[in-house]
Structure 1
Amino acid sequence: MLKLKHVLQGVGRPQSALAESLKLSEAAIAQLLNHGQWPRSLDNEELQGRIRVFLTESGANDADIANAFEEVDLPCANTTDPALKKEPSGEDEPMLLPKQTLLPSTRKAFSLFRDPFDELSCAQDMWVSPDIRYVREVMYQTARHGGFIAVEGESGAGKSTLRRDLVNRIAENNDPVLIIEPYVLASEDNDTKGKSLKSTHIAESMMAAVSPLTKPKNSPEARFAQLHKALKESHAAGYRHCLVIEEAHSLPIPTLKHLKRILELEVGFTKLVSIIMIGQPELSVKLSERNADVREVVQRCERVTLPPVEGARLEEFLKFRFERAGKPLAEVIDAGGIQAIAARLSQADHRGGRDETISLLYPLAIGNLMIAAMNLATHLGVPTVTADVVKGV
């Protein structure tokens, strides 16, 4: 937690006022104050400067402003006696939890031998809502028949799951599609932060997948001509090629522009490569229509958003996950607990002069909150998760 949270309390300013001043959502401010997670789409130093201006105008002293961005440890919550717990205020309550682990005592208390929210072991473990089904089908049709799409979603929305499902689905259906996935470990959008993914790296990955025994040419021009020839030969053999780039929000602008060149590789009227970019919402900033540097890419790229779980489908999602683990949902959580989870992962926001509700009901966030509530219920000796248990997490 940042000291900034205490500074705001000291000058009597709510988090919502800071959010409105910075033109950010209250959820983003809660993540910053409670977990020190800075918005990836903004420059940290610039944002800190704007926060200092806000604190100065709010009457904070120089010492508090200077130390506002230091981290402090959160006090341990007293869960032994619910009467001693401070009632959550809603505004200052952390919206999201870090990765939670199902404790052995919890497994025993609920007779669970498998974590319902663990990594999926097969396609049948994947819960599919109408929204997920649409994104899933768009990705599959793009891989099979060509196209250029960007799949955007928050962390924990299920993007990586859909990528794994695509690869598995093509393999199970024996579709003649080569999935090409460049390595994106430590990938950043510039060489100062880390290693940027350049078009030459993508071309090398494509060449290795299409013609692994061919020795690459020395010059860049010769290598791209060699790649084009290899793609034509692979197409003549009956294959299609789909380039899947995960963590695409870390792609530098020049690489985004070069993707258009890759998309233009063709034989006759047939495009030789389809492209699927998968990234967090920061990708939408780079693909903005106002960004003249990538205008040609934006005009050709279809953007698909992976939304949160609808509140009305939360019970359906939980029921599916627990049934896959061999446990009826009613033996784990009651209706009030489910409503409390929906409320905990939703937050009111004021944008453009109107009130909105921001939903954080993403599978990862739901799973972390549910496991934390089950661990707390076991600690308290409560047989099922109730609304009070969820509020106590």
Structure 2
Amino acid sequence: MISTDAKKQFKLFRDPFIDDIQKDADVYMSDEARYVQAAMLDAANHSGFLAVVGEVGSGKSVMRRKVIEQLKRDGTTLVIYPQMIDKSKVSVASLCQAIIRDISSEQPKGSPEDKSRQVQRLLLDRTKNNYRSCLILEEAHDLTIPTLKHLKRFYELEDGYKKLLGIILIGQPELKEKFDEARHVNMREVIRRVQVVEMGSLNGNLRDYLATKFKRVGVRIEDIFDEEAFKALDRRLTSTARDGKTKVSHAYPLHVNNYTARALNLAQEMGEPRVTAEIIEAI
């Protein structure tokens, strides 16, 4: 968090990283982020089966919100968004209940057979009326293997050649590990059907990202950052992989936000008018 004194020094009347997404224009979109968005919209609008994987703070939830808002504006695809907090408890029954409640005003039937038939009937009715339905599950890395396997059954619901339900899973890298066929051979029928896309870092786009964040609070990034500071921040958020050669960027939005706040605070404490490479290195 940026301190009050640092805000005064850098003429920040509000923190650019708190409650910072109010509309689509506030979302920084790199080429990679646009690809993820396009993949999510395609899965939603054409009944695909997609897993979006990213580290903590990589922007997965922001992208989910952006996609859902786009689908609302388009008006042809209805999002089913299960509210169960503990995703490890998600089951076939709870998914059926979420689908029924989100696409209709009906109450879920009592027996598993009746509930399954109800789900299929409601999805079929929407498809016949030229509407789509998409199930979006966040924190999907917490889903159990049996639940992931059962998602294939939902994906296979169809009317002739038309799929009745798109599925988008959003989770941390542990979700990708669950789609490793070498580790989970009993998951192969799911693994071979799901498309996995990854939310990458801001590597190469760090300056543009920060410029967007500060512009929305009325401040020019060049007024508070030396150009060399961006390079230093990029180095600071880069590590070397286990092979000793491959460089791995950890410049995810949340990490960048936190480092930037610390840099502004330190610059104020040191009496520096701008954030320099030396201040970044001193964090």
SS of the aligned residue for 1:350 comes to: coil
2:142 to 229, 232, 250: 250
Gapped runs of 5+ residues in structure 2?
A: none
1:292 has 2:193 as partner: no
The 1-side partners of 2:233 and 2:84 are apart by 34
Check the 8 A contact 2:238/2:247 in 1, yes or no.
yes
Amino acid at match of 2:193: R
Letter in 2 for 1:374: L
Question: Deviation at 1:166?
Answer: 0.6
Q: 1:349 to 1:236 in 2, by over 3 A?
A: closer
* Contact kept in structure 1, 2:101 and 2:107, CA below 8 Å: no
Aligned-partner Cα distance in 2 for 1:360–1:185: 28
Tell me, yes or no, if structure 1 residue 324 matches structure 2 residue 216.
yes
How far apart are 1:209 and its partner, in Å?
0.9
1:109 aligns with 2:9: yes
1:353-383 deviation digits (Å, cap 9, x = unpaired): x511121010110010001110111122111
Provide the residue aligned with 2:201 in structure 1.
308
| Matches of 1:349 and 1:179, distance apart in 2 | 38
User: Once the 2 structures are TM-superposed, how far is the Cα of residue 388 of structure 1 from its aligned partner?
Assistant: 1.6
Greater relative CO, 1 or 2 (CA 8 Å, sep 6+):
2
C-alpha contact (below 8 Å) 2:87/2:140 kept by paired residues:
no
Q: Distance in 2 between matches of 1:262 and 1:199?
A: 9
**1:390 and 2:283 aligned:** no
What's the TM-score once normalised by structure 1's chain length? 0.70
Residues 174-212 of structure 1 show CA distances to partners (whole Å, capped at 9, x for unaligned) of: 331110111241333xxxxxxx21121111100001112
Residues in 2 aligned to 1:280 and 1:121: alpha-carbon distance in whole angstroms: 24
Larger Rg belongs to: 1
State the 1:307 CA deviation: 0.9
Q: Deviations over 1:295-334 (max 9, x none)?
A: 1001110110111112x32212211221122111111110
Q: Which runs of 4+ in 1 moved over 4 A?
A: none
Question: What is the CA–CA distance in structure 1 between the aligned matches of 2:150 and 2:231, rounded to whole Å?
Answer: 47
Alignment deviations for residues 45-101 of structure 1 (CA, whole Å, 9 cap, x no partner): xxxxxxxxxxxxxxxxxxxxxxxxxxxxxxxxxxxxxxxxxxxxxxxxxxxxxxxx1
How many percent of aligned residue pairs carry the same amino acid?
36
1:2-55 deviation digits (Å, cap 9, x = unpaired): xxxxxxxxxxxxxxxxxxxxxxxxxxxxxxxxxxxxxxxxxxxxxxxxxxxxxx
Pick from 163, 180, 185 the counterpart of residue 85 of structure 2: 185
Size of the alignment, in residue pairs? 281
Give the secondary structure class of the aligned counterpart of 2:12. coil
Unaligned runs of 5+ in 1: 1-100, 189-195
Structure 2 residue identity aligned to 1:237 = N
Residue in 1 that maps onto 2:28: 127
> 143, 160, 175: which one pairs with 2:44?
143
Secondary structure, aligned partner of 1:228: helix
Distance 1:229 1:341 in 2: 54
What SS is found at the alignment partner of 2:230?
helix
Contact persistence 1:228–1:265 (CA under 8 A): yes
